[in-house]
Amino acid sequence: MPETGHIRVDEEFPLALGGSLPEVGITFEQWGDVDAPGDRTIVIMPALSASAHVSSGVADPTPGWWEAMVGPGRWIDTDQWRVVAGAILGAPFGSSSPLSENVHGGGQWGRDFPQITPADQARCHALMLDHLGIERVHAAIGASLGGMQVLQFAAMYPERVSRIVSISATGKTTPGTVALRRVGRNAIMNDPDFADGRYAGGKGPLRGLAVARELGTICYRSRDEFNQRFSWDPDPEGPFTPHKLTYEVERYLAHQGERFANMFDANCYLLLSRCMDLMDLGAGFDLYADGVLRIRCPSMIIGVDRDMLIPASEQQHLAHLLQSHGREVHFEILPSLFGHDAFLKEHEWFGPRVRDWLQA
């Protein structure tokens, strides 16, 4: 088995909301013994802005987005486990997305890429496992949008996973989160360079995307972190106008926004933003509980006390529902200044818990 690759499946891929993709492509990476069987395999599902490059490897020695967690001798020990990650459906990291060629003709999909949900992304991970010859994995792990895919995967394929770790995710998006995401989308769609989603390749609504990411950055961290990290006083030199970056936190946000706008695609962003709104384990069921209780394997559900995008109460509700119906749940709330982004920062907290959970 190669350490990295691209799977192309020339079969119709039906979508949760109806319709289908005529084909699907999945870019993946692997670490550890890439011929190990499923019961020694862990699948990691990335969040919105993360590729399949979870960790460094032979093919790509640059650090991955969960470098501190995954690797030889690390918390998710690739000397012990085979780790697989597929780039998520809809993101600009190699798997099918608005940047892909529409085989119906007309060049890239762009804004015509059909709306997906985390359930579709979970099905894409299942397809990847099929093609890697893995029927059942030991664990599925993800945070944020990755954690939503993990929940959907465990719900849709209870026979294909032994245990899960879902961090800072929700079983069903609430209006408070839709509201925050809408503002970002609105900023993008208002940018005249968005051109109703028909902007030229490589161009697009960079300023709108930057505004969306600035708001995202605020939601991904916490007020306490910002208040601790940044100066409370304006730049001494002035002028103190609204048109100038007067506070340190403004320079930070401007930098984050610009960097993201240059690496992400606006149609992908809008698609994934709405995809997260549409997260709902209860979709298609009479009761939310009916959808949730498809999850039968032991679950590690983690929330972060200062998560302002997907509050810890949402992970708690999910854990309580599972526990109330006899499922094995390990639920914890991490107190962290880093809020929603804690999974990218608090490795010393997550590490031992995830390691022990994998071996439980």
What positions carry a catalytic annotation? 144, 307, 340
14 DSSP 8-state letter? E
As measured in angstroms, the least distance from the Cβ of 75 to a second copy is 31
How far apart CA 343 and CA 69 sit, in angstroms, is 10
What is the nearest approach in angstroms of a second copy to the Cβ of residue 177? 8
How far out from the chain centre does Cα 59 lie?
Answer: 23
Number of other residues whose CB lies within 10 A of the CB of residue 324: 11
Name which of 85 and 279 has its Cβ closer to a second copy.
279
Residues found near a second copy in the complex (CB under 8 A):
17, 111, 115, 172-180, 182-183, 185-187, 189-192, 197, 207-208, 210-211, 214-215, 218, 222-224, 226-227, 229-234, 238-243, 246-250, 253-254, 257, 270-271, 273-274, 277-278, 280, 308, 311
Amino acid in the structure at residue 348: E
Number of Cβ within a 10 Å radius of residue 147: 29
Q: In whole angstroms, give the CA distance from residue 291 to residue 353.
A: 27
Distance in angstroms (rounded) separating the CA atoms of residues 73 and 67: 12
353: Cβ–Cβ under 8 A, 6 or more apart, which residues?
A: 300, 302, 330, 332
Q: Is 1 helix (H, G, I), strand (E, B) or coil?
A: coil
Min separation Cβ 20 and a second copy, Å: 15
CB of 155 to a second copy, least distance (A): 18
